[in-house]
């Protein structure tokens, strides 16, 4: 027979599905509303509890609590560890009000409101020692210019983070949560892994290396999507609210689960400071033992160009002849895979693929008046 906590989690999942069903995908994308699956939430909570001192009562906080997936996971995984209090914020009453009704009578205190506009507790005892959050994945273009300026100033004041205007809302959530954590408290953030490589993530990485002690980053295999309704590669970022000690190393893991990753490696803070892209960890060791040829050994690989109008810029042989386009302004390209029947593609003396369907990219750098 399912336990009381499991029964309550079943009710929460049914409630979540019903509430999601009343919103369009576009509405949920705009507010970044993607609930954490049960097993993932429990794995994250179990790992977070293992980072706390043994016997220490949990002061739990989730600044984007939704229907309470992480709180439900806490109830299922804390076992005999005492929970002093549990609190959360939810900006959308569509989810927040039903969550209040669901958890009525439990120790969880949910406040309906915008977390980024709240005042953190003044005393350390009122701050969380375990912050777990799947923050709203709201892209920057859904934030107004005025809203960005407010959030940037708040992040600068609270956590000394200089966030770019291209940063998503989850970056601001991480910065503004700094004052909601007690000294030595642990935070676990389930966020898109893109911050590890993009330019706007540099400020967030600087915060993780200098303002707190970064403990562990687990990156899920992109082929193992964690959310059924959001195509995003996810990572869990763990840190402790204290300055990093000298010689500190960060654990990077990849694939599998938090508890049983496929790859794992410790990386020094100094190496992370120098690294442009963090997604190379911990995979570089696994790649170093590769034997044989790589694609880069055989081809010059470059990122493709978006023409904006393939029907204009991509021409077949007949069209090229009819327009009498000089060959120096044409680049031979391969057609879609469905038009390629053989494993090996030969080319003529000019480098044009010997295929039934021969295509060319119009690539002319002459001034418009000369082309005319």
Please give the distance of CA 14 from its chain centroid, rounded to a whole number. Answer: 26
- Residue 111: how many other CB atoms lie within 10 Å: 15
Long-range contacts of 269-276 (CB under 8 A, 24+ apart): 269/209, 269/214, 269/244, 272/205, 272/209, 272/214, 273/209, 276/197
222 plus 118 within the same structural domain: yes
- Domain assignment present for 34: yes
Which pLDDT belongs to residue 289?
Answer: 47
- Domain assignment present for 8: yes
Count how many domains the chain has.
2
What's the CATH code of the domain at 137?
3.40.50.150
108 plus 22 within the same structural domain: yes
Which pLDDT belongs to residue 231?
Answer: 46
* Domain-ending residue, one of 226, 253, 288: 288
- HSE of 50, CA atoms in CB hemisphere, 13 A: 11
253 plus 348 within the same structural domain: no
Instruction: List the domain range (segments joined by +) for residue 168.
Output: 4-288
Structure tokens, 184: 């030595």
- Domain assignment present for 295: no
Closest CA to 108 of 66, 73, 64, 60: 60
227 plus 340 within the same structural domain: no
Q: Please give the Cα distance from 356 to 359 (Å, whole number).
A: 10
Tell me, letter by letter, the H, E, C secondary structure of 302-356.
CCCCCCCCHHHHEEEHHHHHHHCCCHHHEEEECCCHHHCCCCCCCECCCCCECCC
pTM score, two decimals? 0.76
Residue 361 to residues 142, 330, 336, 344: CA-CA distances in angstroms?
A: 35, 6, 14, 22
Question: Tokens 């002093």 — which residue?
Answer: 84
How confident is the prediction along the chain (372 residues), in pLDDT tens digits per residue?
Answer: 789 999 999 999 999 999 999 998 778 777 777 889 999 999 999 999 999 999 999 999 999 999 999 999 999 999 889 999 999 999 999 999 999 999 999 999 999 999 999 999 999 999 999 999 999 999 998 999 999 999 999 999 999 999 999 999 999 999 999 999 999 999 999 999 999 999 999 999 999 999 999 999 999 987 775 545 444 689 999 999 999 999 999 999 999 888 899 999 999 999 999 999 999 999 754 444 456 777 777 877 776 667 778 888 899 989 999 999 998 999 998 888 777 878 888 888 888 888 888 999 998 888 888 887
Cβ partners under 8 Å of residue 221, min gap 6: 254, 255, 256, 262
Which pLDDT belongs to residue 232?
Answer: 64
């Amino acid at each position: 027979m399912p336990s009381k906590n499991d029964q309550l989690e079943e009710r929460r999942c049914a409630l979540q599905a019903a509430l999601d069903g009343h919103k369009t995908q576009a509405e949920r994308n705009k507010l970044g509303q993607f609930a954490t699956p049960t097993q993932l939430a429990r794995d994250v909570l179990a790992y977070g509890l293992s980072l706390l001192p043994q016997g220490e009562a949990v002061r739990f906080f989730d600044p984007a609590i939704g229907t309470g997936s992480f709180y439900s996971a806490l109830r299922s995984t804390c076992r005999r560890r005492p929970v002093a209090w549990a609190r959360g914020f939810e900006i959308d009453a569509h989810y927040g009000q039903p969550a209040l009704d669901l958890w009525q009578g439990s120790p969880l205190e949910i406040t309906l409101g915008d977390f980024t506009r709240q005042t953190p507790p003044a005393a350390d005892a009122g701050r969380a020692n375990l912050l777990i959050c799947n923050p709203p994945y709201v892209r920057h273009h859904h934030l107004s210019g005025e809203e960005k300026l407010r959030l940037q100033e708040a992040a600068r004041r609270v956590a000394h983070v200089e966030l770019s205007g291209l940063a998503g809302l989850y970056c601001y959530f991480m910065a503004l949560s700094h004052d909601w954590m007690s000294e030595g408290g642990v935070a676990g953030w389930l966020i898109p892994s893109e911050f590890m490589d993009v330019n706007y993530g540099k400020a967030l990485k600087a915060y993780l290396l200098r303002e707190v002690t970064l403990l562990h980053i687990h990156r899920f295999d992109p082929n193992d999507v964690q959310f059924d309704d959001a195509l995003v590669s996810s990572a869990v970022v763990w840190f402790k609210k204290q300055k990093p000690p000298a010689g500190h190393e960060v654990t990077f893991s990849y694939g599998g689960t938090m508890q049983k990753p496929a790859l794992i490696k410790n990386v020094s803070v100094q190496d992370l400071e120098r690294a442009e892209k963090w997604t190379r960890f911990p995979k570089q060791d696994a790649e170093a033992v590769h034997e044989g040829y790589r694609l880069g050994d055989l081809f010059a690989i470059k990122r493709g160009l978006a023409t904006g109008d393939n029907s204009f810029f991509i021409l077949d042989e007949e069209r090229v002849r009819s327009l009498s386009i000089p060959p120096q302004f044409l680049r031979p390209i391969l057609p879609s895979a469905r038009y390629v029947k053989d494993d090996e593609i030969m080319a003529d003396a000019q480098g044009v693929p010997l295929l039934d369907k021969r295509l060319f990219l119009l690539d002319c750098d002459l001034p418009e008046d000369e082309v005319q």
